[in-house]
Amino acid sequence: MQIKQNISLKPYNTFGVDVKTKFFSEYNSVEELKILLQNDTVRNNRLLHIGGGSNLLFLTDFDGIILHSKINTIDIVEQDMFSVLLRVGSGVTWDDFVAYCVKKNYYGIENLSLIPGEVGASAVQNIGAYGVEVKDVIEKVEFIEIESIKFNSFSNKECRYSYRKSIFKEKFKGKTIITHVYFRLKKEPTYVLDYAHLKEAVLKNGEINLTNVRKTVIEIRESKLPDPKKLGNAGSFFMNPIIPKSQFDELSLSYPSMPHYPVSESEVKVPAGWLIEQCDLKGKRFEKVAIYEKQALVIVNLGGATGENIATVASLVQITVKKRFGIDLVPEVNFID
């Protein structure tokens, strides 16, 4: 649990931006984290806690301390014939956890296969894909309050989850460090296959079972999303905007083919990727940065881009979409200056 100095953050952000942090430390347990939080270097510097770095855009060198969890345990807390409750360390790689559940025949997160990042961040971000959000299976979240170094936990309800949102991103932003997440998974076959053509795609791989759902989701993601190891990116750069139904009705007069998903009686979610593609930005290159050619919601580092280069392109996308559709795109990626 050493505090290192002047560390490159290139391996810790999936955009592959080459910046440094003044201080950096990792811990293996809640006890180690508590000790770290009492340390003067931690208390007297700006603190940022990172996960897999798959949702971060560093604009410049970080003048503070970055912490990273290596709490890597998966424990069964309780189980019966129908379900299992798992307590999972925040530092477990998300997709390793999905692979573990699929192997054990635990149902619920197979649609979230291959999402980059770690378990702790999954509960902050409420990660989601192919009709499933992680909030659907989270029962409880344990965390340390940074200021008081006190251990606390929230039930699913207290986490105030909604699309890509939680209390950890809003009221408690920067105030807590998640140490463990409790997941309730089913032991009886239960699938969510109504997203687009997911069911047909699974059937092409054989019968409907956990292994085939995972395999299919991985195939779909690999065909649409760039591998961060080869091409720096952070998945979806923007959230899909939720707009008033009245605005959608007006827009659909000019754009009758606009894809949309009802969110409530008065709100509609529109895919940001579609809006960006309509603006002819898909596949466009701006020196070291590009809008990914297979999924317009993804911005890629073609090699050697700075955080500022990427932010400039993101801002151009926002301005263009706003001008054409009157819709504000909100980044899903966190900008760190």
Binding site for ligand EPU (CB under 6 A): 129-130, 196, 224-225, 235-236, 239-240, 259, 271, 273-274, 277, 282, 295-297, 332
C-beta of 259 vs 303, nearer to ligand EPU: 259
Amino acid at 217: V
C-beta of 194 vs 207, nearer to ligand EPU: 194
127 touches 133 (CB < 8 A): yes
The dihedral over CA atoms of 56, 61, 64, 67, expressed in degrees to the nearest 10, equals 40
C-beta of 173 vs 224, nearer to ligand EPU: 224
Min CB(271)–ligand EPU separation in Å: 3
C-beta of 23 vs 130, nearer to ligand EPU: 130
Alpha-carbon distances of 33 from 51, 74, 143, 220, rounded to whole Å:
15, 18, 11, 38
Is 332 noted as a catalytic residue in this protein?
yes
Min CB(43)–ligand EPU separation in Å: 34
Min CB(263)–ligand EPU separation in Å: 12
Q: Which residues contact 81 (CB under 8 A, 6 or more apart)?
A: 187
Candidate list 164, 219, 277, 324, residue with the active-site label: 164
Min CB(76)–ligand EPU separation in Å: 29
Alpha-carbon distances of 169 from 159, 166, 175, 217, 271, rounded to whole Å:
10, 5, 10, 27, 22
Is 133 noted as a catalytic residue in this protein?
no
Is 153 noted as a catalytic residue in this protein?
no
Q: Which of 60, 67, 53, 65 is nearest to 11 (CA)?
A: 53
C-beta of 219 vs 332, nearer to ligand EPU: 332
Which residue minimizes CB distance to ligand EPU? 235
23 touches 64 (CB < 8 A): yes
Min CB(38)–ligand EPU separation in Å: 35
Candidate list 145, 219, 277, 332, residue with the active-site label: 332
306 touches 286 (CB < 8 A): no
How many alpha carbons lie under 13 Å from residue 249 in its C-beta half-sphere?
Answer: 6
28 touches 92 (CB < 8 A): no
Q: Which residues are catalytic?
A: 164, 236, 332
